[in-house]
């Protein structure tokens, strides 16, 4: 699937200039002068004057579409193999790795915008979005203009640009960097997925700061093992700029591996429990002590290298304290002082779809929406809510697992939900091309006990969960978070957990007399 062009204005860059930026193995056809107005790896986007890069994907091979690109007006084609039916008037550039070549020419085409930004990369299984948005908000609040690139969204100032991927393809990514530079940004904060690292989407980028949140079971449909998954994440830290620094959550067992090729003077460590990890030397140490927690927030002491600050974390759960601590470490490394770091982070009380509270004060019910779609994320979300809910109340969870993704996590998430929540409803997430009922069968295999229901219709499952709520109960609707669609049989249709919850909660409240609500 292609990235949508991020800018409506067409550039013109000399073809000769672009060719100097890549290591070609061989040329064929006519080497023409002139300019390139567009770089793309999608033949459907080709315009007269475009440069087409034939990338080998997992679903299809761009080499199959070279003829289509040439017919569309491509002046040059970058490929790993020459096509058998070459157009004599087109230049073909053979390279060893088309993805790397795409990244190299995109950097040149967008006038080295990535070199004019301080780029902060956030990687890990869970917490990337929350932490990246915390960092972006903190920097902007402290007078450092920062843009954000992450899950389904790029934000530049007050403008939001929808994205198809967490980390766009290289040409889409550099286009966004260019727009950030034009908008006056000094910093780009971006989530860096393991797919992006393996598929060379961030090839050639030097990161001023790199952050590791954690590593848990995920994407094993793409990576053959956890070791391979970890090695993919580790590549981010090989791309630190000479003056850069790296932040690690050392409470995670994979932190040592992530840091093994980073020099000690660049390492910043974050922990909620310890001050040392064997085999890991820290230049700067950051620690948080939780003083008090509620379903709404936590009061914490943040230990900076040179001072201790008390602040309010306006997001529920221990894991959000770690997210704030990691953001604070980034802020410190960027030259902010602890007081302004804490003041700016304390003002953040919600991140869309990340332990987002859907309030219902009239009946004393607490309802949350969270993106938790991995075993570890689901466990942490449920553990957080269980530890904070009122005594005697129930914890109810609604969740599912996505289709065409790692199947091994399905029974594990069923086990976690049934062992942590009081009542469980398993339902559809994004079934994609799979039968929703078969996905539920696989989740069900891990469930222990009998306090669960299966309702494949997600809206109906949420309605049922809302009808079960009594005074003081806590409901978590997990898996989709910020998403505003549901993908079924290859088609996306509008769907918002938040909208459905508010609708059913309003109808449920309106249909129950006040005295009866008090008795429930």
7 in a structural domain: no
Decide which of 109, 143, 177 is a domain's last residue. 109
Specify whether 135 is located in the same domain as 256: yes
pLDDT of residue 28: 87
pLDDT (average), residues 470-482: 93
Asked if residue 481 and residue 404 are part of one domain, the reply reads yes
Most confident of 116-120, 370-374, 377-381: 116-120
What pLDDT digit, counting tens, does each position of 17-55 carry?
998 888 777 888 876 678 999 999 999 999 999 999 999
Evaluated on CA atoms 403, 406, 411, 413, the torsion sign reads negative
In a domain, 239, yes or no: yes
Q: Is the pLDDT of residue 2 over 50?
A: no
Say whether both 294 and 380 belong to one domain: no
Is position 1 within any domain?
A: no
- Express each pLDDT in 359-368 by its tens digit: 654 567 899 9
Q: For residues 323 and 130, what is the distance between their CA atoms, to the nearest angstrom?
A: 7
Residues 486 and 507 in one domain: yes
Checking if the pLDDT of 165 tops 80, the result is yes
Length of the chain equals 520
Based on the domain organization, do 105 and 87 belong to the same domain? Answer: yes
Question: Does 2 fall in a domain?
Answer: no
Rounded to the nearest integer, the mean pLDDT of the chain is 90
Q: Are residues 302 and 364 in the same domain?
A: no
- Is the pTM here over 0.75, yes or no? yes
Residues whose CB is less than 8 angstroms from the CB of residue 277 and which lie 6 or more positions away in sequence, other chains included: 250, 255, 256, 269
Task: Identify the domain containing residue 39 by its residue range.
Answer: 13-109
Domain count, the chain: 3
Query: Does one domain contain both 325 and 376?
Result: no
Tell which residue, 105, 282, 121, has the closest CA to residue 212.
Answer: 121
* Distance separating alpha carbons of residues 161 and 5, to the nearest angstrom: 11
In eight-state DSSP terms, residue 516 is H
In a shared domain, residues 477 and 366: yes
**Residue that is last in its domain, among 323, 346, 369:** 346
Residue 519 has a pLDDT of 37
Q: Is 145 found in the same domain as 279? A: yes
Q: Where does residue 432 fall: left (phi above 0), alpha (psi -120 to 50 degrees), or beta otherwise?
A: left
Residue 448 belongs to domain with CATH number: 3.90.190.20
Q: Tell me which of 4 and 237 has the higher pLDDT.
A: 237
Asked if the structure places residue 335 within a domain, the reply is yes
- Here the CATH number for the domain that contains residue 140 is 3.40.1190.10
Look at residues 346, 375, 397 and tell me which one is the last residue of a structural domain: 346
Assign 271 a pLDDT band (cuts: 50, 70, 90): very high
pLDDT in tens, 94-121: 999 999 999 999 999 999 999 999 999 9
């Amino acid at each position: 699937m292609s990235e949508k062009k991020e800018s409506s204005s067409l550039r013109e860059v000399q073809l000769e200039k672009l060719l100097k930026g890549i290591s070609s193995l061989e040329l064929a056809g006519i080497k023409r002068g002139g300019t390139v107005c567009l770089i793309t790896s999608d033949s459907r986007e080709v315009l007269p004057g475009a440069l087409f890069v034939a990338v080998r994907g997992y679903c299809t091979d761009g080499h199959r579409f070279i003829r289509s690109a040439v017919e569309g007006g491509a002046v040059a084609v970058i490929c790993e193999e020459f096509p058998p039916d070459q157009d004599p008037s087109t230049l073909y550039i053979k390279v060893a790795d088309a993805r790397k070549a795409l990244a190299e020419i995109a950097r040149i085409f967008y006038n080295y915008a990535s070199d004019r930004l301080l780029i902060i990369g956030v990687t890990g299984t869970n917490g990337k979005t929350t932490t990246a948005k915390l960092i972006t908000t903190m920097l902007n609040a402290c007078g450092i203009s920062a843009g954000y690139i992450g899950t389904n969204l790029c934000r530049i100032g007050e403008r939001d640009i929808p994205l198809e991927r967490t980390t766009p393809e290289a040409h889409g990514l550099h286009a966004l960097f260019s727009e950030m530079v034009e908008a006056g940004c000094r910093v780009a904060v971006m989530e860096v997925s393991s797919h992006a690292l393996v598929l060379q989407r961030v090839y050639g980028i030097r990161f001023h700061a790199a952050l590791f949140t954690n590593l848990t079971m995920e994407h094993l449909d793409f990576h053959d093992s956890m070791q391979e998954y970890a090695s993919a994440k580790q590549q981010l830290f090989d791309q630190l700029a000479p003056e850069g620094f790296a932040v690690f959550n050392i409470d995670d067992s994979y932190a040592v591996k992530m840091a093994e090729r980073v020099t000690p003077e660049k390492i910043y460590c974050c922990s909620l429990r310890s001050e040392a990890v064997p085999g890991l030397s820290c230049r700067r140490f950051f620690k948080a002590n939780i003083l008090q927690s509620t379903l709404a927030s936590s009061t914490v002491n943040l230990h900076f290298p040179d001072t201790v600050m008390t602040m309010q974390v306006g997001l529920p759960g221990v894991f959000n304290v770690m997210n704030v601590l990691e953001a604070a470490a980034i802020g410190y490394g960027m030259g902010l002082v602890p007081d302004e770091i804490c003041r700016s982070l304390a003002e953040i009380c919600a991140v869309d779809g990340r332990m987002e509270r859907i309030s219902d004060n009239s009946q004393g019910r607490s309802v949350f929406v969270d993106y938790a779609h991995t075993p570890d994320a689901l466990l942490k979300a449920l553990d957080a809510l269980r530890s904070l809910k009122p005594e005697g109340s129930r914890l109810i969870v609604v969740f599912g697992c996505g289709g065409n993704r790692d199947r091994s996590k399905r029974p594990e998430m069923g086990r976690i939900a049934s062992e942590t929540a009081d009542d469980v409803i398993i339902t559809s997430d994004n079934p994609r091309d799979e039968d929703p009922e078969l996905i539920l069968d696989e989740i069900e295999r891990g469930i222990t006990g009998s306090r669960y229901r299966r309702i494949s219709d997600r809206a109906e499952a949420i309605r049922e969960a809302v009808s079960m709520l009594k005074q003081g109960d806590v409901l978590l609707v997990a898996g989709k978070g910020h998403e505003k669609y549901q993908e079924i049989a290859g088609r996306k249709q509008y769907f918002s957990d938040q909208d459905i919850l508010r609708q059913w909660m309003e109808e449920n409240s309106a249909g129950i007399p006040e005295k009866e609500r008090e008795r429930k």
